Structure 1
Amino acid sequence: MPTTQLPSTASLRPDFIWGVSTSSFQIEGATREDGRGLSVWDIYCRTGKIKNGDTGDVACDHYHRYREDVGLMKALGVQAYRFSVAWPRVLPQGRGSINEAGLAFYDRLVDALLAAGIEPWLCLYHWDLPQALEEHGGWLNRESATWFADYAALIASRLGDRVKRFATFNEPSIFCLFSRSLGNMERSNENELHRMIHNVNLAHGSAVDVLRANVVDASIGCIHNRQPCRASSASEADVAAAARLDDYWNAAFPDPQCRGEYPPSMRAAIEPHLQPGDLAQICRPLDWFGLNHYSPVYVKSRADSMLGYDFGDKPADAALTPIGWPIDPEAFRETLRATHTRYGLPIYVLENGYGNSDEPDRTGAVIDPGRIEFLKAYVNAMNDAAAGGVDVRGYFVWSLLDNFEWDSGYSTRFGLTYVDYASLRRTPKSSFGWYAGLIKAVRP
């Protein structure tokens, strides 16, 4: 791999961690095997709202093919793998009776990672709430904080002898906003959105305490999707709308978790759900800040929407990925600096990647130069941020594998590895070789 193709990493720490990330519902499949319960996404997939009618029933079949996937990680040379546990796989009803077969799967996965010299980074929640708990109000029920703490205790007791890196949630702003505000508008009202935000924050704090109590030398964080919210025009209304979305998208979770306060713009709306001691319960000591970043978000005013904002037009000259997301390494640099300044925690970039509709060429190879150029530009931006004093300690590509990309189903591919969904054959893309070359160059 010629060094001219590699980004600058001179300002990164000698112990900088290179990794890849996935999530349970997006890759595991086996949704009706070995006692797993249904998740809210299993039910949502049945509504027909997913592109092409896709479901997570098989996904990448990681449940059966995890050893092959660990082998891919070893070939990449990554030091760490961020994955999530499927709550309904280990607690089919979300609480109560434990599913031993589900826990045994994660035993096997963790053991295989450690045998390959790869550190497991475990995220407790990546959006697959047990459907049984949704039927009891889900995150709108304040008891959800207790349910989540009990689930965290189970995972800590089973895996905490081998797993030390834990994240409570992945992108809480995204699953809250898109289920109660930016998406599914017919189910939404402001009171429900603010109650959900607060209950998820309470669950985070409760889980942190449980992990501290049950895992020796635990290293704990939460993973936040932070994207600059930019007005689509210079109009006063659009500027105000962008500022509102910025509070909900970028601050509604890390501010109370790390600073002990909600953004001023939402405090009155949160107050009906706030009980004495709640903010202290939410703001528990953390070891690191998990950052997911892809692109800026462009925002316009929309008077008939819940909070007065909606997605707006991107600049006409914006460089875009094939799925229409802006390519803006400067926004990544800006986000790293802002996160460092505001929260003062070590930062691990736990998702960054490039969506495409990759296909094999006539030789069977999957050549994806656009992804390579994207990753190179974003690693360069990260290096620049580190040179300016940002305490960034790791970078994980989204994703190891092409997978189920939520409402886009299987039509969008973010993987370093191509997955033929008919045969489930894995084919490393050219970006896989590039990333392996980068890691080898900086961590020989």
Structure 2
Amino acid sequence: MPKPQTSPVSFPQDFIWGAATAAYQIEGAWNEDGKTESIWDRFAHTPGKVKHDHNGDLACDSYRRYAEDIALVKAMGLTSYRYSVSWPRVQPHGRGGANAAGLDYYRRLTDCVLDAGLRPLLTLYHWDLPQELEDQGGWANRDTASRFADYVRLVADALADRVRHFVVLNEPKTFTSTGYWQGVHAPGRREPLAFLRATHSVNLAQGMAFRILKQARSDAEIGSAFDVAPMIPASSRAEDVAAAERWHRFLNLWFVHPALHGAYPEGVLEPARQHELLGWQEGDADVVRAPLDFIGLNYYSPWLVRHTDTECDIPGLHCKANWAKGLGELPQTDIGWDIDAKSFHDILLTMAEATGYRPIEITECGAAYNTGPSADGSINDDARIRFFADHVRAMAAAMADGAPVRGFHYWSLLDNFEWAEGYTQRFGIVHVDFEQQQKRTIKASGHWYRQLATTNALP
């Protein structure tokens, strides 16, 4: 097991170490006990949308094996488990009353988390919109924000007595852009204006959910998980620097700034058309505002931004930039994403300043390495350990420089259904043998993480 030969790094005794999962990626049981179709069920069942036509029908079978998975979190010495609620499992039609069997499942799951001595970190939306709501326009339909608020109220009524820490949304930038603009994720639409409308509906939903959760539990701590990355200019030319700043505001701040300030970042949309393009209505400034208690950040790779004279296909958006998820000169993980721990340090400081130095939790950070079992059955994923150590060290440096980070959740606990990549990419610190009755095996990286979490120091 590699041990970087650098200066020692330690963390506060109350630092939170955890692991993260998402309902559609691990649960399976896609149509059982009253659960109806989500947009990811529909998308993954459509030939050609997911690699090898994989789907989440069974996934990791965590709907049945959740106790085993929670025991793995505890065995690794972690103190927090981030998991999500499937909206169509709790509210099958996206409106109306709750599905009792669905809520009972999440009560049992949460009780199991608590019985293991772990902190539940509950995500309310991790991309599984009920298909019936998508049939009515999905997130591009403003009414979906109100439907989400009703769903959050059902969850809060059932679980707020057990759960104090909530993540409202996971990666709103990604599920709106890949789902409604680029079409590579569910629901698979390529409609630029619908994408813009979806971003505003999502911000409305975030603000509504924040207030509902506070009403349900006054001492609740509420955030969202924003996927962020430094927007690195391709050169020192003024045009590239300006393009990178525009994309920072659009990709990193578009869902943070409205929550904290009741308005969108300047310089992204044409001011005269902003309200028209977003479907803004009177009073929306108050609706989108949500003074988040903490900021969840997901980090994987930096982005490279270069100015171009060509406008993009979104009306009223000041694009004039080409961007790529990667710098082209760095080592990569098996999914092809650049590895750059320094960018992790940098974006933590940037987001700390942008959010008024609210507490930060790393809600996701991880790497895809597809290392399989060796002859003795062990999984020696040394590359993941190097990635892990470098990024934890970068986080510690950011904390020393003033970033108020209080917790870290590795993505992911389990090898799982990785969206459009299907089962081809393994992010887990626990290996899942999808062909051998879902057998779980803690990888070398999981044992390394146990050492980190139990000593609060880099091994």
Match of 2:17 in 1: 18
The equivalent position to 1:252 in structure 2, one of 254, 263, 277, is 254
TM-score normalised according to structure 1 size? 0.94
What is the identity, as a one-letter code, of the residue corresponding to 2:70?
A: V
Match of 1:362 in 2: 375
Q: RMSD value over aligned CA atoms?
A: 2.2
Residue 263 in 1 paired to residue 265 in 2? yes
More moved, 145-154 vs 175-184 = 175-184
TM-score normalised according to structure 2 size? 0.91
Deviation at 1:369, TM superposition (A): 0.5
The 3 A distance-change label for structure 1 pair 54 and 91 is same
The 3 A distance-change label for structure 1 pair 69 and 36 is same
| Other structure's SS at 2:222 match | strand
| Number of residue pairs aligned between Structure 1 and Structure 2 | 442
- Give 1:42-441 correspondences, 5 Å limit: 42-48=41-47, 49-184=49-184, 187-232=189-234, 241-264=243-266, 265-266=268-269, 268=271, 269-272=273-276, 273-300=279-306, 303=310, 305-306=312-313, 307-312=319-324, 314-344=326-356, 345-422=358-435, 423-441=437-455
The 3 A distance-change label for structure 1 pair 235 and 385 is closer
| Other structure's SS at 2:122 match | strand
What is the identity, as a one-letter code, of the residue corresponding to 1:275?
A: Q
The 3 A distance-change label for structure 1 pair 276 and 411 is same
Deviation at 1:428, TM superposition (A): 0.6
Deviation at 1:364, TM superposition (A): 1.2
Deviation at 1:41, TM superposition (A): 0.4
What is the identity, as a one-letter code, of the residue corresponding to 1:215?
A: R
Judge conservation of contact 2:228–2:252 (CA < 8 Å) in 1: yes
Instruction: Give, in whole Å, the separation in 2 of the partners of 1:7 and 1:141.
Output: 52
Post-superposition Cα deviations, 1:31-90, rounded to whole Å, max 9, x if no partner, equal 011110100000001222101110000000000000100110110111111111000001
What is the identity, as a one-letter code, of the residue corresponding to 1:64?
A: R
Judge conservation of contact 2:21–2:411 (CA < 8 Å) in 1: yes
Instruction: Give, in whole Å, the separation in 1 of the partners of 2:224 and 2:324.
Output: 29
Judge conservation of contact 2:430–2:442 (CA < 8 Å) in 1: yes
Judge conservation of contact 1:6–1:438 (CA < 8 Å) in 2: no
Deviation at 1:310, TM superposition (A): 4.5
Judge conservation of contact 1:227–1:335 (CA < 8 Å) in 2: yes
Instruction: Give, in whole Å, the separation in 2 of the partners of 1:232 and 1:439.
Output: 38
Post-superposition Cα deviations, 1:290-349, rounded to whole Å, max 9, x if no partner, equal 011011022456737424545448444312122211111110000110111111211000
Judge conservation of contact 1:299–1:313 (CA < 8 Å) in 2: no
Judge conservation of contact 1:78–1:118 (CA < 8 Å) in 2: yes
Aligned residues with identical type, % of pairs: 42
Judge conservation of contact 2:302–2:325 (CA < 8 Å) in 1: no
- Identify, as 1 or 2, the structure richer in helix: 1
The 3 A distance-change label for structure 1 pair 7 and 162 is farther
The 3 A distance-change label for structure 1 pair 309 and 187 is farther
| Other structure's SS at 2:82 match | strand
Instruction: Give, in whole Å, the separation in 2 of the partners of 1:310 and 1:89.
Output: 39
Match of 2:31 in 1: 32
Instruction: Give, in whole Å, the separation in 1 of the partners of 2:324 and 2:22.
Output: 29
Deviation at 1:381, TM superposition (A): 0.7
Post-superposition Cα deviations, 1:145-203, rounded to whole Å, max 9, x if no partner, equal 21111111100100010101011100100111112334459943442222111110000
Deviation at 1:222, TM superposition (A): 1.0
More moved, 318-327 vs 407-416 = 318-327
Deviation at 1:237, TM superposition (A): 6.3
What is the identity, as a one-letter code, of the residue corresponding to 1:180?
A: Y
